[in-house]
Structure 1
Amino acid sequence: MKISISLAAALACVAGIAAAEPVAPAEVQYDEYGAVAQSLTGVAGDPANGKVIMGTKSKGNCVSCHAAAGLAEFPFHGEVGPVLDGVGDRWNEAEMRGIVANAKMTYEGTIMPAFYKTEGYIRPGDAYTGKAPTEPLGPLLSAQDIEDVVAFLLTLKE
C-alpha cells in the first residue's frame, strides 16, 4: 500500500512538471552570449515537427534564408543566412535555443527574426500604413515550436 501511494505521488509530481506553463517570451533567461539553458517547455523537442516548421511558409520558413541538405524536399532555399549543414556540431542545445528564440541576443546586427519575442520592436504597419494592430502580438513561433526546431537543428551533423 505504501508503495502504491508513493508511486501515485511520484506520478502526480511528474504530471505537474509536464503540465507546467511554457516560459513566456519576456521571461526567457539569456546568458551573456545569448544561450538559453532552460527548455522553454520542459518537453523534449520533436525533430520531425521541427523540420516541418522550418520549411513551412506560415511558420518558421527558415528555408527562405538558409539552405540545408536535411531540408532538400522544401523548395527555394535562400542564401541570405549561413548553410545549416553541420550546425548540430557547431552549437550546443542552449546556444541553438538562444539563436532560434532571438538571434539578436547572440548576433547583434543579424537580420534573422526573433521567433520568440513579443515586445521591443516596431509594430507591423507603423512604418507603412500607420494602422498597426493595437492588441498584443504573439511570438512568431510557440515555445514548443522553438524546442522542435532546436531538436531538428541538433540532428544536422557533419
Structure 2
Amino acid sequence: MRLTAMTATMALVAGAAFAADVAPGDLQFDEYGAIEESLTGMAGDAENGAKIMASKSKGNCIACHEVTALQDAPFHGEVGPMLDGVGGYRSAAELRGIVANAKMTFEGSVMPAFYKTKGFIRPGDGYTGKAPAGDELPPILTAQEIEDVVAFLLTLQDG
C-alpha cells in the first residue's frame, strides 16, 4: 500500500511538472515574435543548452550558426548569423520566440521551427516514401530544451 501511495504521489508531481509546459499550439507570440513566459516555468540549464546546440540529433544550431564558445564542436555554419554576443542584445523572450519558431520574428527565415507540431509543407509519400502519417509531428525540441538553449544563448555576452 505504501509503494502505491508513493507511486501515485510521484505520478502527480510528474504530471504537474508536465502540465506546466506550454504546448506548441498554445504559444503566445507578441507582435515581434517574442514569447515572454517560460515554456516550462523552470530555469533553463545553459550547459545542456550548449550540448543541444552542438548535437546533430537535437538542435544542431552550429550547422548554420558560428558560436565561438562551442569551438570544440566541428563544422560551424555560415547560413545564419554568428551568435557571439547574442545574449547582450536579445532578451530571453526574443530568443525563446526565435528558437521556438523564427518565422514569427523573421518571416523569410530558413531556420526550422523547433517547437512546432503542425502546418508543415512536406513532400508526400509518393515522393519520398518516408513522409510521416497524420497531421501532427512531434516538436524537434521539448519545452525544457528550448529553455535550456535560451539559457545558453543568454551566456553569450560581448567582451
| TM-score, with structure 1 as normaliser | 0.85
Structure 2: how far apart are the matches of 1:108 and 1:19? 31
Find the counterpart in structure 2 of residue 104 from structure 1: 103
Tell me the number of residue pairs that the alignment of Structure 1 and Structure 2 aligns: 145
Report sequence identity in percent: 66
User: After the TM superposition, which of the residue ranges 124-133 and 63-72 deviates more from structure 2?
Assistant: 124-133
Structure 2: how far apart are the matches of 1:19 and 1:105? 25
Q: CA 1:130 to 1:18, structure 2 compared with 1: closer, same or farther past 3 Å?
A: closer
Find the counterpart in structure 1 of residue 56 from structure 2: 57
User: How far does the alpha carbon of each residue in 1:16-55 deviate from its partner, in whole angstroms, 9 at most, with x for none?
Assistant: 9756431000100000000000110111000000000000
Find the counterpart in structure 2 of residue 143 from structure 1: 143
Structure 2: how far apart are the matches of 1:72 and 1:86? 15
Q: Does 1:69 align with 2:84?
A: no
Q: Does 1:40 align with 2:39?
A: yes
Q: Secondary structure at the match of 2:52?
A: helix
Contact 1:102–1:117, Cα closer than 8 Å, also in 2: yes
| TM-score, with structure 2 as normaliser | 0.84
Over the residues paired in the alignment, what is the CA RMSD in angstroms?
2.1
Contact 1:51–1:149, Cα closer than 8 Å, also in 2: yes
Structure 1: how far apart are the matches of 2:83 and 2:94? 14
Structure 2: how far apart are the matches of 1:55 and 1:127? 33
- Aligned residue runs from structure 1 range 107-126, under 5 A: 107-123=106-122, 125=124
Q: Does 1:81 align with 2:64?
A: no
Contact 1:46–1:152, Cα closer than 8 Å, also in 2: yes
Considering fraction of residues, name the structure with more helix. 2
Find the counterpart in structure 2 of residue 6 from structure 1: none
Structure 2: how far apart are the matches of 1:100 and 1:33? 14
Find the counterpart in structure 1 of residue 155 from structure 2: 155
1:123 Cα deviation from its structure 2 partner: 3.5
Any unmatched runs of 5+ in structure 2?
1-13
